[in-house]
A and B are shown apart, each in its own frame.
Chain A
């Protein structure tokens, strides 16, 4: 019994050790990014290629999801507002919800699934098939070529995708409002723009940058540190998604607190 407890203690302390070792490794990885990003040569061509992959290739999925979110959210909100005879407030309600929270969050979660897993799997498979070693022995910096480019592309593209999702979701909402309340597009968008402030848009863009950075960084970190062959690649892709989503929710919570603080000033 006592030995069993000792064994459990050992396992527990090893887990704690591993957690802090992992944290330190992740910190060093992020630190390396901030050092390498300023040092030439710059891989502009690869950044643009990654922007295309992350941004353009995500458009169909983002369009569909954003549009559906707009329609569903409008439909779900209508009964509550109609109880108070306030359905005319639908455009304002939807615009605030979409711009402040749903647009960035939905886009980031979809990108974490699509982009994060693909980065994790790609870099992970490059690691286990020695392609990263091959870059290193040919006197090229693999970190700069693989990590810096993908993190930059993801950081730049997620805010653009968020703007696009906001627009598509609002179009979905407009379609719903137009069919049910006979509201014209100009009336709808006048209400939308009246309801949202500069703080809403700027906070949404800033947190989207953070989400994009997180998705790229987590995908690259998990891929770059993958081991154990093909099994490791699968694990890297999977944990990249899980970790990115978890961090996105925490960042959303923090950004809400910070934005509320500024709103009260």
Chain B
């Protein structure tokens, strides 16, 4: 039996009058890639933001590596965050810094007594890993959307996280670049032995990267299971239409 890395229990979150998550339950097991699917605005991003303490739930619990995130003080929360890599939808690269400085930013602030040589080596290693060593001295504004995503992922990998949270990793990219990102997610999972949650509404991304799917519908997880179980034999009309729409689109 694999360890539970993240456990979400009866979690609810609302913004004003809008209930985004209603009594959500979810378990993430060590080493697996869980894909969370759902329509835009269904609360997928909210869920992973609660997991890293960027948002607080109204009720219920989000237990990450055995710790209730909302109960942690700033020091403990930071310690937990070092174990989690968060890849943002729009990459969130620091505009005023070069790629090298972007990667060094979390490194110099969290790893003590690091020599310049070691720092450079780590940065170059991670950039080589995502295939963008040539961009080391470029500014984020000089990069394409796909390159920005890769650098965003590289920046999270530099601290060697145990858990990766990807927020819409393929959003706004062409199909070929999407495939590159999907392969990168699998490569990261293999090389760094991470446990991942991938938030997406791209079924190709889900199929290629996910071990297990969870579909978020009206604030609840409707269906969970392997891709075939959830989509190809879907009974729920909403899940079926989700599958059909992606199929027709592609």
Contacts and interface: CB of A to CB of B under 8 A. Distances in A.
Contacts of A134: 86, 88, 92-94, 155
Contacts of A139: 78-79, 81-82, 106, 109-110
Interface stretch (A109-117, A122-130, A154-162): A122-130
Interface in B135-157: 155-156
Contact of B109 (A41, A125, A131): A41
Contact of B92 (A41, A133, A140): A133
A19 B42 CA distance: 33
Contacts of A133: 49, 54, 88, 92
A150 B9 CA distance: 41
B95 A140 contact: no
A138 to B, nearest CB: 4
A54 to B, nearest CB: 14
A138 B159 contact: yes
B52 interface: yes
A129 B105 contact: no
Nearest to B109: A140
Given A131-B94, A133-B54, A140 B106 contact: yes
A129 B109 contact: no
Nearest to B45: A130
B90 interface: yes
B199 interface: no
A129 B152 CA distance: 13
A137 interface: yes
A136 interface: yes
A130 B90 contact: yes
Contacts of B88: 130, 133-134
B188 interface: no
Contact of A130 (B84, B92, B155, B156): B92
Contacts of B105: 135, 138, 140
A125 B141 CA distance: 14
A101 to B, nearest CB: 36
Contacts of A136: 54, 81
Contacts of B86: 134, 137
Contacts of A125: 95
B236 to A, nearest CB: 32
A140 B94 CA distance: 13
Nearest to A128: B90
Which of B84, B88, B155 has the most chain A CB within a 10 Å cutoff? B88
Contacts of B95: 125-126, 129, 131
A137 B106 CA distance: 10
A190 B179 CA distance: 76
A135 B90 CA distance: 14
12 contacts: A129-B90, A129-B92, A131-B95, A133-B54, A133-B92, A134-B88, A134-B93, A134-B155, A137-B54, A137-B81, A139-B81, A140-B106
Interface of B: 49, 52, 54, 78-79, 81-82, 84, 86, 88-90, 92-96, 105-106, 109-110, 155-156, 159
